[in-house]
Structure 1
Amino acid sequence: MPAKPAPIKKAPLKKAAPKAEAKPSEPAPAPEPPAPAPPAEAPPAEPAPAPVEAAPAAEEAAPAAPAEAAAADDASAAAPAASEAPAEAPVAPPPEQPKAPTPPPPAVPTSEPLNLNVDDVNDTSVTIKWKTPENLGDSGLDGYTVEYCKDQTSDWVVANPELVVTNRYVIKDLTAGDLLHIRVKAVNAGGPSAPGTLAEPIRVREVVDRPKIRLPRFLRSRFVKKVGEQVNLVIPFHGKPKPTVTWTKEGQPVDPKKVSVRNTDRDSILFIRKAERDDSGKYEMCVKVESFEDKVMIVIQIVELPGPPTGIKLVDTWGFNAALEWTAPKDKGNTEITGYTVQKADKKTGEWFSVLEHYHRLNATVSDLVMGNSYSFRVFSENKVGRSEQAAVTKAFATIQKTGIVYKPPEYQEHNFTEAPKFTTALSNRAATVGYTTKLLCSVRGYPKPKIEWMKNQMIIGDDPKFRQINNQGVCSLEIRKPCSFDGGVYTCRAKNVHGEASVACKLEVKQVMLPDAEKK
């Protein structure tokens, strides 16, 4: 058994465990670099490495450790080391070398800036603008650098000392008259991108009057003409020096064989002698002065009469009616269909009559046909130019069969107009003067016509000539001629028929005229 460790007086020497098995032919482990001695209370499992001056002793003790019966001189050399180092300490494995970190992938530059163009120019500066690149890479976008060089040279000058964050920059302190090439690069962690360059060099000079097109109001919407008509468009503009005017159709130069263009200093004329449907499309006019330009878009539509409906058929016939169906025309005349015209013709006469005009559906029912006749039908298409020259005609005839007709008048329930007498206007109390004729009025209704009787103080007046009784359209009146004081009393009007009777009454007061005393004498 190994001896117990002695108190540590100096840095212990590293010694291999006695029970460790190792072949004599294996080389001894390399000595560890020196390190400061650990404190005494350190755990024995972590022995401190020997100082630099003890390294030879460790080198001698290492090969003697695995052999139990070593030479006496080797044992005496290893004894001091064994008395100073703990016997139980295991051999520490050599430290693993740290792995180098995996380098990150290189940053990818952005794509080039887009749509680089001139926003403004004068005799000392040029203002340019552009759009953000489509691909910003993994590290994003840090800014832009603006460079320029004179024409026929290759010396590019960086205009901005620091990166530009916005998509617009003013290049200042330029020399008037220079012809410059300008480019912009996007910069990120991957470096500068491919440059976005102006299509043409820019002249450093001030433009007196920028180009401007004054488009007439009627050309701001769709311009419609019929086939065969002339197209003569005069579009004024201004700009100095003299602008350059170009016309394109659907992005391509106009065909001089079909379209004539005449330009002056103030306007441009687009002329088509006989318009055809192929002349329809989007025309763009561009007025350019140096790097400045103005564009307008004009939509020209050449229309003509539509073709007939592609098919028509007789769906059904019943009574005095016929049902039709048809399909829209293939050729609409380069514009939308606004309606249809439906006509009918009797087989006997062959004359056509319109039954529906400006009709919007693709099916219709024709009514009021004559019994015993046979009819054919045709349909025309309509658009804003007019009605189609040809029509779709039904192949079959619609025959209205003769049938026996017995007229049966409708039965109506007879209204019962019978009604007992009822006064709608009652008599009113009256005051009359002696000698002055007065009249009593009331109104009554009833069916059959009621019989009217007048009574004075519940006595029937009868045919007394002093009284005149009138009954006209239910208005009853009693005229009292020159009444005297004895004619006052209660008057009653009574109406009778087979369904009942009704009466109203009033009070009549006849007053005597009082004369002054002078008149009495």
Structure 2
Amino acid sequence: MCKASLEEWHRVNDQICIDTKYTAKGLVPGELYKFRVSAVNGSGQGEASVTVAAVQALDRLASPEIDIDASFKQTHIVKNGGTVTLQIAFRGKPAPLATWSKVDGELPVMADVNTTDNSSTLTIEGCTRYEAGKYTLSLENNCGRKSVTFTVKVLDTPGPPGAISFKDVTRGALTMMWDAPTTDGGSRIQHYIVDKREASRLAWQEVSTKCSRQIIRVTGLDIGVPYLFRVIAVNQYGQGEPHEMTEPVTATEEPCTTQESKCC
């Protein structure tokens, strides 16, 4: 063979080739080559047959593929403070660009990514409930795109409950509601703790220690006194962070003109 631009021929096969096909290796991608073949018998080497046109050496491109074996786990469960490692092997030509992302959020600050031409690993140390969620590895090259999603569950106490709202605010009583925590700590919410305090005081008073629903009727409030409330979710790992009101609510002597008010 020879490079088309040089016309300097050299032998390709180091050993005798008895077949009518041969794989030439070590070619430069994008370079143009010419090939010629001569048959040999007992009387010697015959006349060469030369390729009519030059042939360009091109990479065999392949879209990204994910290699999954028996050890693959889609869901990873880790205790609070532990480390989770998400690893995936892949192939493709050219080598795919690997990108990690977290569904509905950003990658944790403590996340470490290590990527080679055929694998990528995401390691998260010191996991808390906030590192729980879905993580996606996206692979992309000139031929296509592929992705795989992992679920990480962190066994921890729940996050704070959501927004608190009120209805049926009457003389000395009101109905209080709240949203469930966005993170349950990898365990079902067992119940809620509800506390109250007068806005002018610092000490919290117990309303309910085992409220099984996200609604409670609070009675016995002093008329005209502004109150603050807080709600704490509880699962098998303990009490989570409280959600506390920032603006007080008052159980008026006369019913409220608005049916419902919300406090963040």
With a CA cutoff of 8 Å and minimum separation of 6, indicate the structure with the bigger relative contact order.
2
Q: TM-score range by the shorter chain?
A: 0.3 to 0.5
Output the TM-score relative to the length of structure 1: 0.22
More strand by share: 2
